[in-house]
Amino acid sequence: MTRHGPLNEFCWMDLKTRDPSGTAAFFSAVLGWDFAVDETDWRRAVVFRAGDHRIGGLSDLAQPVHPPGLPAHVAYYLAVDDVDHRTAVAAENGAQVLLPPFDAGDQGRIATLIDPVGAAVSLWRPRGFAGWPVSPPDEGAAIPHHMVLVCADPERARHFYTEMAGAPLARATFLEAAPGAAPRWEVSVAVGDPDRVAARAHELGGEFVTVTGGAAR
């Protein structure tokens, strides 16, 4: 089945952490995300919602399926038309294939890459479930709505993703990183009161980050 939203844009994230309960408590308090075990999933995976919409999963890096010493991070999933073909095109254009295409049960087909500028990204061909909403449908629900890749060579990154996906990515921006900063994808979340959310995050130990070019997240 095809994604019920546009392809060539991000549609899911997975919070990978060694402190699942602390991570869930932080984002619940700051963004109002609701974390719960998915009773319909045989793996009993933890997913989280913004309002009524599933937007991501929560993974415990202490589980043996993950390599020892893997640092906490967020994995982002890009909806594509054909994971196998797009993975091959990515490799032809300089990407490193970390996880070749595989079926994730009945959820979809996935591959994980390191792009030519050094950022990790997963490709996802969903089956039925489309991922997070295409645009924030509910006022007050903290829905992801834009992605930012910060790296040393934004134009190289932009060209790679256009070639790999077959078209420019939707709702994605490429910005130059500060000297020495690691390349990475980041998500912008739609909130009603950014100042209040930032203050709450700071109270709970969060740090403020500003990207070159004036975009904040």
Write down the pLDDT at residue 212: 47
Instruction: Give, in order, the Cα–Cα distances in Å from 197 to each of 22, 82, 143.
Output: 18, 37, 14
Contacts of 67 (CB under 8 A, 6+ apart): none
Could you tell me the CATH superfamily of domain 9-203?
A: 2,3-Dihydroxybiphenyl 1,2-Dioxygenase, domain 1 (3.10.180.10)
Give the global pTM. 0.90
Write down the pLDDT at residue 167: 96
Q: CA-based Rg of the chain, rounded to a whole angstrom?
A: 17
Across the strands, what pairs with 104? 108
Write down the pLDDT at residue 133: 81
Q: What angle do CA 52, 57, 63 make, to 5 degrees?
A: 150
Closest to 59 measured CA to CA, from 19, 111, 28: 19
Write down the pLDDT at residue 126: 84
User: Per-residue pLDDT for the chain (217 aa), expressed as one digit of tens each?
Assistant: 334 457 899 999 999 999 999 999 999 999 999 999 886 665 678 999 998 899 999 999 998 888 888 899 999 999 999 999 999 999 999 999 999 999 987 778 999 999 999 999 999 998 877 788 876 556 667 999 899 999 999 999 999 999 999 999 999 999 999 999 999 999 999 888 889 999 999 999 998 775 444 444 4
Whole-number Å distance between alpha carbons of 133 and 124:
15
Whole-number Å distance between alpha carbons of 37 and 47:
6
Write down the pLDDT at residue 135: 64
Q: Which two tokens stand for residue 7?
A: 């392809």
Q: What angle do CA 177, 83, 183 make, to 5 degrees?
A: 10
